[in-house]
Amino acid sequence: MSTALKRIGVFTSGGDAPGMNACIRAVVRAGVYHGLEVMGIRRGYEGMIDGDFMAMPSPAVSNIIQRGGTILKSARSERFRTTGGRQQAFRQLEEAGIEGVVAIGGDGTFTGASIFCSEFGTPFIGIPGTIDNDLYGTDFTIGYDTAINTAVEAIDKIRDTAASHDRLFFIEVMGRDAGFIALRSGIAGGAEAILVPETETDIDQLISSLKNGWKKEKSSSIVIVAEGDETGGAFKVADAVKQKFSQYDTRVIILGHLQRGGQPSCMDRVLASRLGVAAVEALMDGHQNAMVGQIHREVVLTPFEQAIKHHAGLNPNLLKLAEILAS
């Protein structure tokens, strides 16, 4: 460690994700371990502009590793998109003596951090905290594992009532731009079809597949729909199916923000802890404008520019697996 840093800040931004608190805890504990003062920045970039800071000694993060959400809160910030807003944020950091910042969030968070770093030179290290798992530079993002397990638990329960009534359920999961949650939860939940933004949805083919299932005397059918599917979500897919095949007794379930909440899984707690410590040590080593991630079980640094510009793609083998298992 070659740094002369004395005080760093940490904040969460964008959509909350299970494991963010575990990550905050790791940043604070790592900072204390290395002799740094850690300041919590409430409400993301909004709090940075307002100087909403709090000292975070080690006891401040006791008993939070198991909690969902984020104790530092999260908020969108239109003001930070302006030059004046960023200048105000920089003045607040300077006055508080914060010399480096750990940003826990996703694309938007890292975009803001990259711009801020280029304008003012304040070193930022990002940690991928989003349930969507769509960031380049890490195999998994904090919150993803918990979210898919939450979705699978819901799918299992819905399957019980679907089988009891010979019903067809369309279950919409989060994933505005990416189908990671839909794909893995659909495979694990035994879905008859999985619709994701990355592939084009063919309603006729979907109906044909469902008809084949009924011919094989399947007692129920479940279709998982990512919210960003080009057909417009689960309700529109269900309507399109009913128009062409009205015999189905269909129901639609939107899991929505249920997937963001709850206690983080063991995997998310460990990942958050590992990346939190790595982020602090990256700052101390003089790194900046980059995201820490985990690839093939090793911690890696990816420049913000790459993490923002590139998006992780769905594994084509998993797409094929879903097709095979639904036959």
Residue-level pLDDT at 2:
53
**How far is it, in rounded angstroms, from Cα 302 to Cα 317?**
25
DSSP H or E segment with residue 54: strand 53-55
Give the whole-angstrom CA distance, residue 288 versus residue 300.
13
Residue 91's contacts (CB-CB under 8 Å, 6 or more residues apart) are none
pLDDT reported for residue 313: 75
Do 146-261 and 7-143+264-309 fall under one CATH topology? Answer: yes
Q: Which amino acid is at 152?
A: V
Amino acid at 232: G
pLDDT value at position 219? 59
What is 146-261's CATH number? Answer: 3.40.50.460
C-alpha 176/C-alpha 154 separation (Å) is 19
CATH topology (fold) of 7-143+264-309: Rossmann fold (3.40.50)
What integer pLDDT is reported at residue 93 of this predicted model?
Answer: 97
CA distance 130 to 108: 11
Give the tokens for residue 109. 């968070």
3-state secondary structure 221-288: EEEEEECCCCCCCHHHHHHHHHHHCCCCCEEEEECHHHHHCCCCCHHHHHHHHHHHHHHHHHHHCCCC
> Residue 103, SS3?
strand
Q: What is residue 210's predicted lDDT score, i.e. its pLDDT? A: 77
76 burial (CB, 10 Å; 0-12 / 13-18 / 19+) is: middle
Can you point out the beta strands (E) in 73-131? 100-105, 124-128
Check 16, 132, 229, 268 and give the catalytic one. Answer: 132
Residue 13's φ and ψ, nearest 5 degrees, are -145, 160
- Of 148, 108, 164, residue with least CA distance to 18: 148
Residue by residue, pLDDT tens for the chain (327 residues) are 556 899 999 999 988 999 999 999 999 999 999 999 999 999 999 999 999 999 999 999 999 999 999 999 998 888 999 999 999 999 999 999 999 999 999 989 999 999 999 999 999 999 999 998 989 999 999 999 999 999 999 999 988 887 777 778 899 999 888 889 999 999 999 988 899 888 887 788 887 777 776 655 665 688 999 988 888 888 888 888 888 777 777 888 999 898 899 999 999 999 999 999 999 999 999 999 999 999 999 999 999 988 887 677 778 888 888 888 877
Is residue 132 annotated as part of the catalytic site, yes or no?
Answer: yes
Rounded CA-CA distance 142/273 in Å is: 10
Q: Where are the domains of the chain?
A: 7-143+264-309, 146-261
CA–CA distances in Å: residue 230 to residues 112, 172, 276, 301, 323: 28, 13, 36, 33, 19
pLDDT at site 316:
85
Using N-to-C axis directions, what is the helix angle for 266-284 and 20-33, rounded to 10°? 40
pLDDT on residue 230: 81
Distance CA 304, CA 306 (A): 5
